[in-house]
Each structure stands twice: as structure tokens, then as C-alpha cells.
Chains A and B, each alone.
Chain A
Amino acid sequence: MKNNRIYEDLLPILRRVKRTFILIQILIVFLLLNFWKIQILDHKKYWEKSEANRIREIVLPSQRGLVKDREDIILADNKASFRASIIRENCKDFDKSCRKISRLLNIEEDVLKERVKKYESFPVFKPIVIKENLSFEEVAVIEARKLELPELILQAEPKRFYPFGNLSAHALGYIQELSQEEIKSGLYAGRRLGDLVGKTGVEKVYEAILVGTDGRVLEIVDSLGRNKGEITRREPKKGQNLILTLDYALQKKAEELLEEKEGAVVMMDPRTGEILALASYPTFNPNKFINRFTSEEWLVLVNNPAFPLENRAIRGQYAPGSIFKLVIDLGALDLGLVDEETTFTCEGKIKIYNEPFSCWVEEGHGEVSLIKGIQYSCNIYHYQVGKKMGIEEISRYAKMLGFGTKTGIDLPGEKAGLVPDPQWKREVRNEPWQPGETISVSIGQGPLLVTPLQIAIYTSIIANRGRKVIPHLLNSRPLDGEKRESKPPFSGSHAVEIEPSTFEKVIQGMWEVVNSGGTGWAANIKGYDICGKTGSTQLISTEKDEELAEEEEDEEEETKTHSWFTGFAPRDNPKIVVTVLIEYGGMGGATAAPLARKLFNLYKRKYD
């Protein structure tokens, strides 16, 4: 070692450095010995322990948001569903436990043992479900015996529950297990196989609002899967509640009135487009879908010839019948083709384009003007006005008044209906338009197709004297305390290009329909200015229309005809639109109108 330390003698402190280094070396050797012990001598012990170290993730299911009507009546609720399970590991004496539990839960001891035996291959610590959907009494009993019976455990899970069963099932929709295909579709990001999601109705449309965030627990389990404690826990977050525009009382009444029939009812506030009742019959019980539906039961529902799953109010497409006559009247008045004074003579029969057409009253209506034409729903009058307008104009006004396009309601699967014109016929059927078809269309027959909801919108445009609204089920008021970020997108409305005074003339006719011995007299309520229009038509597809028309005669007419009524009230500043469709109901005035009357009556008593 070179000695370059000129000024001082550093040897004593260098000695101290050396000693310290030796101490550190000893420590390092000591550490190595420790590692030797842990890694070589105790390796087997730690290897087993590391094998036993596993993490298990448990999902804590979140609650879906509630769905309420406009008065906070809960239409879709969550029910705590409890199930009891047995953990064999915790049994001191298995037979004794079985005896106790069977007495407690009213299960035959043999049945219980049989059930447990089925899961014999399960690890002993894993709970075996022995009873589902426990009653509150049973829950209380189990809870009280918690210490006495550690082998019996309660597991809670929130379950969707529709307290009124069938009520507004079509609007609410139902929830079901997410399928493999739906996961692949990418629409349900972050959801897993077996998660319950809204399949139709508002449950589907507002899935993102309703769905909560599931909680997760990460727990340590050993190689046998026994819980050794929690690492992290994230509590589940409840979904947001949804408030609908539906009115429980009106909805209930509408469904009661439809009972035993096939048909649909729409009640809507024409000022805002808020749907107060949306009924379709036959219906189904959405509660049944939440339990893992057995395929058999499902097939029964799907294959039911009455199609209970179909929401007729938005998906049923029908010919509008006489209700469509108002389109002709509005169009002709707007175009100046007729005025209130213009009259036609109805003799019950007429020949147009060398084809015979008839009015529904054999003896005819005599001299018919606009008001009388609407009041008595005269076919002859409308044939002639329609002929004057021509199909192009009829089609234009029909579209203007909401036909042929979806209304934009916040429900999935809405149908657009059909407004025919020569171009459509050329493109779809590859045939030229027959002039006679224009005459059929003039009274709402022919290839025309509309949904009950479209009729309700059409009625509301008339009621509003030209203002069109978008129907919706989501209430725009804030969700219980929580402010919604933006208003629902259906608050907008736009004006139809027809003068309000033109509407007034047609409304006068509609008033006479109900209040002055017209076809809709059965909807009359004293002291309530209801304006309406009846319609009678067929559901059968239009191609078969003519063949069938030949077959069905007189007495059959009553049963094969669909019955329409649509109306609004009061005449000035209308507040409610009621549209009723009864399949095979017969004449609109006879079946649909009295039904509408009851709904108007209920509305009047409740809101006026």
C-alpha cells in the first residue's frame, strides 16, 4: 500500500473501519445462513404454504334502480331474497343438525339429506343451498339460531321484483340472464355471463341508468378454498332510480278493461308527450323471467298464438280504418279542395273507376258535408274527397301527421307502420298504383299500416292544433334528489304545417262524433268535452285483404273487425289523449268507444 498520507497517522481509524467491515461480513454470512434455512431446510413447508395461497374473488351483487310511476308508486322493486345453506364443515353432528334444520325450515329430513348428498363431492366448507326464497319468518328463525347452528347460513341477494305482476309489463320490460352472444356484441361492456340485464322495455332502454356497480371482495383462500380473510372489499353501488310518466291508476284501469281481449290502450298528455298508460293485452308476468326460466315455460309464452310478449301498442300494425279519414279532411281543407260547405250525396253505394264502393250504412247518409262526414264517418264523402286529393297528397299529409315513421318513444322495437304511395308500390311490389287503391286508402284501408301509438300521436297533433310531440315514458323531473345531467331528449316538439283554424274545423266534427249522436256517442261523458273518432278495420295482412273480404259476410263482420277509438279532452286546451284498439272487437263505436269513456272518466275524476 502506497503511503501518501503525509500529514496525519490514519492507522487507528483504518483499523476501526476494518473491524466494522468484518462485522458486516459476519452479518452477511449470518443472513445467508438464514436464507439457507428458509429456502433449503424449510423449503417444503413454505412451498406448501405458497400453494395454499390463493385469491378468490366474490361478487357482491348490486341492486338495480327502482322504477316508479309518476306518483312514486314502485312498479319495479328489489326484494331481498334469502336462501339458506348448510356448511357441513361446521356441523358437530351431521344427523343432529339435519334433524334440527328440517324442523326449523319445514323440510323433510330425508329430502334434506338427499339434497346434501347430491353435493357430496363439494368441499365441506362450501355452502350447499337447501332452501331458496325464504319467508321473513324463516329468515328471523335462522337469524335467531345463528349461534346455536353455525352450520346453517343465510345468504342474501337483491332480486328484481315487480310488485304488481302483469301491470305495465310491456312498458317495463323484464330482465334476464345475459347470453353469450350479447356479451360478444359488446353492448354490455363490463358485464359477465349470467348477469341479469334488461331485455326489453324501459329495463332495456335505461339499462345504463338502472344498473348498479357490483361490489367485489378479494379474499385469501387456501388450496381447499377456505376463506382466510379479506384483502380488499369494494361495496356494491345501487343503480339510479327511474321515474316514469305512467300513472298507476290509469294503467291499472286500462289493463282491467282489456282483460279477456286482445288489444292496446295508449293514454298520453298531448302537451308533453308523457305516456300515462301504455297497455297491451294479453300480457305476461315479468317476475317469471327473473328466475332462471325453464325452456318449457318460455316456449309456451313465445308460441302462444295470442303473442303475449308483443307490445301491441308500439309493435302491432293495423289498418287505421275510419280514423284515417281525418287525414283526408285536414289535407283537403288545407289544400282548399273542399270547405265546410262542400257537400256530397251519399246513397250507400258508389261506383268510382268502374269499381263499386259502399258506405257502411246501406241506406246512405244523404247530403254530407265535412262535419257530418266526420260525425257519421261517411265513406262516400271521403272516397270523393280522397279522389280529389290523389294518393301523393294523401301520403304527404299522412306522413306529416306522424304515420309511416317511428314516433321516437323510449322503448325498443317500435314499428314504423306504412304509408303507401305509387313509388312504394313500384319499389316493393313492382306493380303500378291502381287508382282504386287511392279510394281504399281514403277510408284508412288498403296497404296502410299504423300502430296504436301513432294514432295517439296523430290525435295529439290534432288536439294541439298542429303541434307534434315525442311520446316518452321517462319523467323529466329529477330522479329522487339526484339531478340528472341532461333533460331527456324528447322535450322538443315541432309544428305541422297546417293552419290551427283548419284543425278547429275537424275538431268540431270530432266533437259531434261523441257529443251529438255520432259514431262515438258511447264515449260521451256529461260535462266533459271529449272529441274523438271511431274506426273499424282488419288486422289481416293487406295482400289477403281482398280474398278475405269476399269470404267474410254479415254476421262474421262483427267478430273479424278490429275496433278503434281515439279521442282527446277537453276540447279547449286538451290534457289527455286516449287511443283504444280492440282486436276482433267489432265496430269501433260499439266496443272501443265505451272503453275509452271509462278511461276518460277516470282521468277526469283524478286530474280535473
Chain B
Amino acid sequence: MQLRLLWQGNYLIYTKENMIDRNLFRNIDWILICLLLLNSIIGVAFIYSSSLYLPESYYLKQIFWIILSSIALFLFLSIDYETLVTYSFYIYIVFIGILGGILLFGKPIAGAKSWIKFPFFHFQPSEVAKVIIILILVHVFAKFRKDYLSWGKGLLGVTIIAVPSFLVALQPDLGTALSYIPIFLASLILAGLNRKIVIFILIFALALGVVSWNFALKDYQKKRLTTLISPGQDPLGSGYHILQSKIAIGSGGLLGKGFGKGTQSQLRFLPARHTDFVFSVIGEEFGFLGIVLIMLSYSFFLWRLFQSVAQSRDRAGVYIIFMVAVMIAFQFVVNLMMIIGLFPIAGIPLPLISYGGSSLLTNYLGISLVLNVKMRRFVNV
């Protein structure tokens, strides 16, 4: 309400100190915000349906987070992204501190030290760290005007990603740690991948994979990978989740079983059905048609994001929008691949739709950065 008044009102006296310029708000991409909210509300509906028989009202919590994240989104808009990029190194250091801190002092919730406990909710700093990583990668790469990446910058980027990934993997939360990599890849794509560097990264990744398979990966993580290959062999073991998810989706058919009537979801065969597997519930209850519709709505949202790149005033803006878009698109694609057994169950939620406050806040802050770039496109530096 306040913002709308600011935006429409002509009584506001313009001063140079005023951070929120009413002209800037005129340039906000309201369509993107609408798409953001639309997908969030679809999420609330299915969190409601999938947690009907759970003791907690997850959907109410999700609504609370949507409101909180929307406020954060608009507050975050008031700071020029240039400023954020400039100070990104310090924010990054603070977050590394927090991630290290919860490793040392945090109490494990569900086996992982990923959370900071607040009276009414838990907060997962490793999620919000994604936004910080985007900002610092922009800081590193966007000032670089050549169209191809140098060794030095590449190594610096690897280091920037490696530290938080390592800390988060120790929590242990491999899913989130892995989701930093596509953000990094996005920055590499824009920076221009030298073939030598690509080969180097691939070798490095392979070596890391071999080493971690033998030394770092926990048994359940290994199982998830082997499950990917043959989920049917051990229906109650690690393949159980994928099989149940596929049964849920497949049994939905063309039109689905109806809202709240999914036997798989409601009979609790489906694990984590309000978080990672929420899309399986959609598939069961609304069928293929529902999935197509929601994928359309989501694709439109992604299209709008990618399309925004062209409206950036500088290289940093392009980087920001692109990395946010890749961050969301990657999670979207991987989550869908996960629930139909094309990707190991890595605990990657469906952005905006899955239940989870920290993830929602992260995506809203990401979108806030995109809006930030777009609305400042006419401002001269």
C-alpha cells in the first residue's frame, strides 16, 4: 500500500538523498512479480493438499514465508545492485562465518547442521548464501570485459564456490552444496569458456567425484546414486521413494485423481510430499494436463526472467539476471528429473512451489535482484 502511494503519488518531494526514487518504481516489472506470486500460490495449494493429514499446517507457514519474502523483496530493491556488488566481498565473508559457525555450534535437525533456530521457524543460511554467491561472482567476472575467461579468474571463481560448498557439504547437505555449482557454471558460460579450461574443470570434477565417492560420500548418498540406475530392484530401500513418486505421477493419468484425492499422496506412500515431491502430488491429483499447465506457467516465468537480460544497462546486470535465472531453472529441471528418477534424490526442492521458507526467501531475493537491475536500466552511472 505504502509503495503504491509512493509510486502514484505526486506529493512526494524528490530529493537526491531519497533512495527509493518514484521513477524507479515506475520501471518495476510487475508481470514478473505476478508470475512469481502465481507460482507461489500454486505451491501453497499443493502444500495444503499434500499435508492434509500432517499435524502441522505447512500451508499457513508457507503463506507466512511468502509475505515475509515479499517484504524482503521490496526492501532489497531499495539498494542499488551496484552497491550490493561492490560490498559483496564483505557480505560473503560474513556468510562464510555463519556457515562455519553453525557447523561448530549448531544443533543438528534431522541429522544435518543446516539450520539456525528461531522461536517460530528455522532458517537455512546455506540457501540464502546462493544470492551472496551470485553477487560476489558478478564482482569477480563482470568487471572483466574480455569475452573469454582467464586462468586466474577461473581459479578465483573455483575458490569462491569451493569454500561455501565444502562447508555446506559438511553439514551434511550435499544437495544444496551441489546447487552452487550451476550458479558458478552460469558465470563461466557468460565469462566465456576456454576449451582448455573446460577440460581442466571436467578433469577436476571427475577427480573430485572419484575422491568423494571413496572418501567423502555418506552411504545414503551413494545409495541415491545407485538407485538412479535401478530403482525397481529394491522397492523399499533407497529406490522406494522414486518408485512411489513414479507410481503417484503415473497413476494420475491425463486428468488426475482430483484435488486432495491422490491415493499415493494421501495414503502417505509418497515421502517428503510437501517438500521435494510436491510435483508428484500435482501429477497424481491433476494428471498430465495439470502438469502441462503448471509447466507452462513456470516456463513463462523462466522466459520472462531470461528475457529480462536484454534490459540490463551493463555487464553486471546481465550476469545477475542470468545467474538468478539459471539458479531457478536448474532447481526446477533437477527437481522434476529427480521425481521421475532421472536424477538422484539430492534434496533439491522445486523453487517457489515446494514447502520451505529459506528456499522461498532465496528465490524472492534473487528475483529482487533481477527487478533491481531492470528498474535501474535507465539510470546513468
Interface residues of A (CB under 8 A from B): 1, 4-8, 10, 12-14, 16-18, 20-21, 24-25, 27-28, 31-32, 34-36, 38-40, 42-43, 45-47, 49-51, 53-55, 220, 228-230
Contact = CB atoms under 8 A, between A and B. Distances in A.
Interface stretch (B41-49, B53-61, B291-299, B351-359): B291-299
A46 B247 contact: yes
Contact of B326 (A20, A40, A228, A229): A20
Contacts of A228: 235-236
Interface stretch (B163-171, B309-317, B362-370): B309-317
Nearest to A19: B189
B278 to A, nearest CB: 15
B16 interface: no
Contact of A38 (B246, B268, B315, B333): B246
Interface string B167-200: 0000000000000000000100110100000000
Interface stretch (B70-78, B85-93, B124-132, B249-257): B249-257
A50 B288 contact: no
Contacts of B147: 12-13
16 contacts: A5-B312, A8-B145, A13-B315, A27-B333, A28-B295, A31-B336, A32-B291, A34-B340, A39-B250, A39-B283, A42-B250, A43-B250, A46-B250, A50-B250, A50-B264, A229-B236
Contacts of A32: 291-292, 295
A373 to B, nearest CB: 74
A8 B314 contact: yes
Contact of A43 (B251, B263, B292, B325): B251
Contacts of A42: 250
Given A17-B309, A28-B333, A39-B252, 7 more contacts: A10-B315, A13-B192, A13-B315, A40-B254, A55-B269, A228-B235, A228-B236
Interface string B224-238: 000000000001100
Q: Dominant SS at the A interface?
A: helix
A31 B288 CA distance: 12
B204 interface: no
B377 A4 contact: yes
A53 B264 contact: yes
A47 B310 contact: no
Given A14-B310, A40-B288, A229-B236, A49 B250 contact: yes
B251 A31 contact: no
A13 B264 CA distance: 45
A53 B380 CA distance: 63
Given A46-B249, A47-B250, A50-B247, A35 B291 contact: yes
B302 to A, nearest CB: 7
Contacts of A17: 190, 306, 309, 318, 322
A295 to B, nearest CB: 40
Contacts of A43: 250-254
Contacts of B121: none
B342 interface: yes
A55 B147 CA distance: 59
A235 to B, nearest CB: 19
Given A4-B313, A21-B306, A50 B251 contact: yes
A20 to B, nearest CB: 6
Contacts of A4: 313, 377-378
B254 A13 contact: no
Interface in B277-333: 283, 287-288, 291-292, 295, 299, 302-303, 306, 309-310, 312-315, 318, 322, 325-326, 329, 333
B34 interface: no
A24 B249 CA distance: 22
A12 to B, nearest CB: 5
A49 B250 CA distance: 9
B248 interface: yes
Contacts of A7: 314, 381
A38 B249 contact: yes
Q: Dominant SS at the B interface?
A: helix
Given A27-B333, A35-B249, A46-B249, A220 B236 contact: yes
Nearest to B305: A21
B110 interface: no
Contact of A55 (B268, B287, B377): B268
Contacts of B250: 38-39, 42-43, 45-47, 49-50
A39 B315 contact: no
Given A14-B310, A35-B288, A39-B254, A53 B190 contact: no
B85 to A, nearest CB: 15
Given A20-B186, A228-B235, A31 B322 contact: no
Given A13-B315, A47-B253, A35 B264 contact: no
A49 B189 CA distance: 43
Most interface-central of A7, A17, A25 (chain B CB within 10 A): A17
A307 to B, nearest CB: 51
B189 A20 contact: yes
Contacts of A38: 246, 249-250, 283, 340
Contacts of B235: 228-229
A18 B321 CA distance: 12
A5 B250 CA distance: 49
Nearest to B250: A46
A1 B310 contact: yes
A54 B266 CA distance: 11
A225 to B, nearest CB: 15
A10 B310 CA distance: 9
Contact of B246 (A1, A25, A36, A46): A46
Contacts of B310: 1, 14
B26 to A, nearest CB: 16
B1 interface: no
A38 B145 CA distance: 47
Nearest to A52: B247
B337 interface: yes
A571 B314 CA distance: 110
Most interface-central of B186, B264, B306 (chain A CB within 10 A): B306
A14 B321 CA distance: 11
B122 to A, nearest CB: 24
Nearest to B255: A39
A39 B306 contact: no
A49 B245 CA distance: 11
Nearest to A219: B236
B13 interface: no
User: 3 tightest A-B contacts by CB?
Assistant: A46-B250, A50-B251, A229-B236
Nearest to A25: B299
A53 B267 contact: yes
A14 B325 CA distance: 13
Contacts of A20: 186, 189, 306, 322, 326
Interface string B123-149: 000000000000000000000010100
B333 A49 contact: no
A49 B318 CA distance: 48
B283 A35 contact: yes
Contacts of A21: 302-303, 306, 325
